[in-house]
Structure 1
Amino acid sequence: MSDIRIQNLQKPVAVAEYLFRRLHQIGIRSIHGLPGDFNLVALDYIPKAGLKWVGSVNELNAAYAADGYARAKGISAIVTTFGVGELSALNGIAGAHAEHIPVVHIVGCPSTISQKNGMLLHHTLGNGDFHVFANMSVHVSCEVAKLTRPGEIAAQIDHALRECWVRSRPVYIWLPTDMVEKQVEGARLDAEIDLAEEENDNPEREDYVVNVVLRALNDAQRPVILVDACAIRHRVLGEVQDLIAKTGLPVYVTPMGKGAVDETSPTYGGVYTGSASPPAVAAGVEGADLVLSIGSLKSDFNTAGFSYHTSQLNTIDLHSTHCVVRYSEYPGVAMRGVLRKVTERVDASKLVRTPVAAVVNAVEENRDDSKTVTQAWFWPRFGEFLRSGDIVVTETGTANFGIWETKFPAGVTGLSQVFWGSIGWAVGAAQGAALAAKDLGLDERTILMVGDGSFQLTAQELSTMIRHKLRVTIFLINNDGFTIERWIHGMTAEYNDIARWNYTALPAAFGAATTGKQTWAKTFKIKTKDELEKLLKNKEFAQAKGMQFVELFMPKEDAPRGLRITTEIAAKNNARTE
């Protein structure tokens, strides 16, 4: 007997085809993940939708890569299998949730019939509960869509993808094997999902906030703008740039806001990190009588251990879901609308502009007489190597703190996981970011800065970079262990030591041609300043046509200034008993 629900469909398509075509429509071109028996049939539909299957070496790396892809491209997707696969990815998905990254997590799961019958299937806990893993993901997803009723599936998919984009958080899509080829209404695909954010639901409240901001700007004698992570994550950088251009006010960024603004602008004042800030930056922000904070995420490492010295009485916070003016909160008033109206209505001639100290890459100021490559000297020197269009990925550890001392050229994208801080994230994220650049048709360099300890957690992702011929330059900082942990506690403790690998042998071990006419990956060992200078000035190295793997030796106990200050505060916080 024919199914009347299918007979009434105008353009019947399989669920998997509908899902993957929707992913293509919202801008995704590559799908990360690993195959498993509960998702295999669904994977057959990926190329049919014009998408590319990436494949990764494990689900955790795939989740990190999806995170990096979304940061560079706007949104991403990962496919895992039920239980063993999705749980392996969960740490990476949790990081995306914490850091406001839109990732679509699709999980192939047992059929609804198997679930109904409580079958003792592999990848289960053997207790008949097939929802236990999805229930875990509820806490790190802004939407969970269980695709079990064909008549509702298309709407569920559309809603989940819109939520992922608008809220900039992961969503979880549960796809049973017997639903993969069920037919749904393909006519819906003729109209793309409306991803536009809703206007603020209370125009009067929004106008009130705008008027308060305008009055505060007009009255202030030392106003500044402070740009943070959620300005990037919730895609208001265009509005931020318009505001900066019109007002000409001094602008600073946080560590998580690095790369959000043009650092070559004469109004750019540097990276504000509370007690870890350079004196000129601290004076500029803490001496302000109005801080217009955009998209703040005041985590411990983003604030150098909660060491801000600013007053809420002098602060206006603009967020994606609400605004806070001094001590008054305005729910439902999102920052995009406020920023646009403030920019439209502000009279720049009435504003007081305080000059900022010039931000430079202080290379010579941090050069000493030794041949050793030090953290203090390296990060400013690295800034001189960068060029517009670069994507710079920094790992939790010395790199995340050292990059504070690097002045970016205009147009550099900085990616870091300061809040979640899962070591090893950056290797996968660099793969995802480089793939996103390739999918966008950009001929740009992706540069990964990673410590040896972090690298050892996710080194296998070199294999995926090599497999897809991604243009990645890797600076592996060999400082013999977990330096950030050494500075928090246990400078000489055995648990902060790691095995010593032959790092430059790894590209070849993972399949890259490193010699002969087909050389694609090049490796370098750098132990002195002069060797590094020669490498960074090499034109062929600067072109970065393939993979470049640089093992850069630094002293074990050396650390950037910001890391030393922040870890000292962190150690004190960890030791508190009341």
Structure 2
Amino acid sequence: MTKMKVALYLIRRLKELGVKHVFGVPGDFNLEMLDLVEDEEGIKWIGGCNELNAGYAADGYARVNKMGALITTFGVGELSAINAIAGSYAEMVPVVHIVGTPSTKSQAEGAMLHHTLGNGNFRIYMKMYEGITVAQTSLNPKNAKSEIDRVLRECYIKARPVYISLPTDVYGEEIEVDLSDDLNLSYPENPREVEDAAINQIVKEIQKAKCTIVLADVGTTRYSTTKELLDFVEKTGFPIFTSPMGKGVISENHPLFGGTYIGNVSELHIRQEVEGADLILSIGALKSDFNTGGFTYRVSTKKTIEFRNDHVKIFFAVYENVSMRQILPKLTSRLVQHQHGSKRIRTPYLSQPPIEEINSQQITHSWLWKEISSKFFKPNDIIIAETGTSMFGLMDVRFPEGATFISQILYGSIGYSIGATLGAALAAKNNEIKRRVILFVGDGSLQVTVQEISTIIRNNLDPIIFILNNDGYTIERMIHGLERKYNDIQPWQYCKTLEYFGATSAKGKKAKFTKI
């Protein structure tokens, strides 16, 4: 046993989880905590322009690094970040939000401090976070060790944000810890009898089916099930398709990959493959509107077996507490390779029409995305798209080997991608493989969070940013108000963005596009 400051114990646990960068904004209730972060080896403070952007950065970091962390001050800081944390919750992203709060004495006395609502209630902000985090805690010297371990485990296992309140008079308090005591990150075991019953029934259904396909979604990535998925597909030979949020869960050059299924928005041959199957193994599904082509999935419950993080559903029967991460390897070992499942389907992109010719003045969207796919993307790229024309344009693009795709397709908070690019670029530095970070963002989204480009420059990061200048909110125009002024924005000289934020060597270039 040894003595360690509460804040340093928290930092130690974050480092164990692979967190090497912590995002946030300084405030008077977290400054002493930031001293400890800044002085600690193996972890670096990344100050953002505001807490919302810092939250987006922590989210982008976590999508590449498996865990992210954010530090804000009490009240004004944490509420500025609440939208980012809500997005992380919706999209199953593990972010640890640490909030520097007033001293326990001030809270007990109900003091009328700044950043409060003036009513003596110091718990109201944490109460606001209860609906968008899977665990919350307020630390004191007696509970610090057990609560830090509990909350961080919840964040890791459930792949969603957590909230930690750290009062100013608790940061430096010393607690006894065992340095050999590792954080328990083991997943709960599936109930044996329930799991066995599910496996037996699934095997029967697969044996009866003439055409079985796999439809993989974002849950496989969020709950660390990609290896199990790949092994299952390769050993059974079942063709695999992904949703928009599931892009990148399997190599899009894999001979079994059939394409991205988006309901009615899908290419015809993809729809025919998926909707024509008589058994669909849906793995890690998240059936939001954008992710299902506006709820146009033509996938009947009567022929769908769903694998989730906390249950398996075979048609209409639910097997509770059976995790896909544990059942997939066992199911794989039970299955033999079926002739109908082992067929190699054609790579759909080979059937696309050739890239169209363009004149010297204009570039169309249909040309842009195919050209980028065939000539620009490289293996292991991290590809980030704002939810808008960029995200929709990339849906049918062929990603290279090892690519990671980041887009807030469910929550869709405008401006998310700029902060996420900062976080992803820093997380990429943790990787032994050199990875490019490429962002596609519209002008409307850029203007919401453009300040974080200055943080990217300050940290010597080198993402590639494509700004699609649509002269306003194009997605909103397509929904409603095509000619309305509320969808207009002030045009900026975007090629001067890097210069304005102080970059000395980076460059901006301009190309003309046709309007959508």
TM-score of the two chains, using structure 2 as the length reference: 0.97
Partner Cα distance (2:162, 2:264) in 1: 37
Partner Cα distance (1:182, 1:395) in 2: 43
Partner Cα distance (2:88, 2:480) in 1: 28
Q: What does residue 508 of structure 2 align with?
A: 523
Q: What does residue 149 of structure 2 align with?
A: 158
Please tell me whether the aligned partners of residues 274 and 282 of structure 1 are also in contact (alpha carbons under 8 angstroms).
Answer: yes
Deviation at residue 190 of structure 1 after TM alignment = 2.2
2:464 aligned with 1:505: no
Amino acid at match of 2:507: K
Q: What does residue 291 of structure 2 align with?
A: 302
Amino acid at match of 1:407: R
1:490-501 equivalences in 2 (<5 Å): 490-501=481-492
| 3-state SS in 1 of match to 2:422 | helix
**Greater alpha carbon shift after TM alignment, 311-320 vs 211-220:** 211-220
CA offset digits 1:503-525 (Å, max 9, x no partner): 11111111110xxxxx2x12111
Q: 1:59 aligns with which of 51, 66, 70?
A: 51
Please tell me whether the aligned partners of residues 363 and 377 of structure 1 are also in contact (alpha carbons under 8 angstroms).
Answer: no
2:492 aligned with 1:555: no
1:308-319 equivalences in 2 (<5 Å): 308-319=297-308
| 3-state SS in 2 of match to 1:269 | strand
| 3-state SS in 1 of match to 2:383 | strand
Deviation at residue 555 of structure 1 after TM alignment = 2.9
Q: What does residue 547 of structure 1 align with?
A: none
Amino acid at match of 2:72: T
Q: Summarize the Cα distance change of 1:362–1:219 in structure 2 as closer, same or farther, 3 Å threshold.
A: closer
Count of residue pairs the alignment pairs up: 513
1:89-488 equivalences in 2 (<5 Å): 89-148=81-140, 150-187=141-178, 189-200=179-190, 202-349=191-338, 351-360=340-349, 365-371=354-360, 372-384=362-374, 385-488=376-479
Deviation at residue 151 of structure 1 after TM alignment = 1.5
CA offset digits 1:225-260 (Å, max 9, x no partner): 000011111110000010111111111000000111
Over aligned residues, Cα RMSD in angstroms? Answer: 1.4
Partner Cα distance (1:61, 1:489) in 2: 28
Partner Cα distance (1:352, 1:402) in 2: 31
Please tell me whether the aligned partners of residues 395 and 426 of structure 1 are also in contact (alpha carbons under 8 angstroms).
Answer: yes
CA offset digits 1:440-473 (Å, max 9, x no partner): 3432100001111111111011011101111200
In structure 1, list runs of 5 or more residues that go unmatched.
1-9, 514-518, 528-553, 559-578
Q: What does residue 22 of structure 2 align with?
A: 31
Partner Cα distance (2:432, 2:114) in 1: 42
Partner Cα distance (1:413, 1:304) in 2: 21
Partner Cα distance (1:357, 1:212) in 2: 31
Deviation at residue 403 of structure 1 after TM alignment = 0.8
In structure 2, list runs of 5 or more residues that go unmatched.
none
Deviation at residue 295 of structure 1 after TM alignment = 0.2
Amino acid at match of 1:156: E
Partner Cα distance (2:91, 2:313) in 1: 20
2:27 aligned with 1:48: no
Please tell me whether the aligned partners of residues 237 and 341 of structure 2 are also in contact (alpha carbons under 8 angstroms).
Answer: no
CA offset digits 1:124-156 (Å, max 9, x no partner): 1101111111100111000001113x1211100
Partner Cα distance (1:495, 1:355) in 2: 50
| 3-state SS in 2 of match to 1:157 | helix
| 3-state SS in 1 of match to 2:490 | coil
Please tell me whether the aligned partners of residues 361 and 381 of structure 1 are also in contact (alpha carbons under 8 angstroms).
Answer: no
Please tell me whether the aligned partners of residues 363 and 380 of structure 1 are also in contact (alpha carbons under 8 angstroms).
Answer: no
TM-score of the two chains, using structure 1 as the length reference: 0.87
Please tell me whether the aligned partners of residues 21 and 49 of structure 1 are also in contact (alpha carbons under 8 angstroms).
Answer: no
Please tell me whether the aligned partners of residues 381 and 400 of structure 2 are also in contact (alpha carbons under 8 angstroms).
Answer: no
| 3-state SS in 2 of match to 1:194 | coil
Partner Cα distance (2:405, 2:162) in 1: 24
Partner Cα distance (2:197, 2:441) in 1: 46
Partner Cα distance (2:198, 2:48) in 1: 47
| 3-state SS in 2 of match to 1:179 | coil
Partner Cα distance (1:26, 1:466) in 2: 27
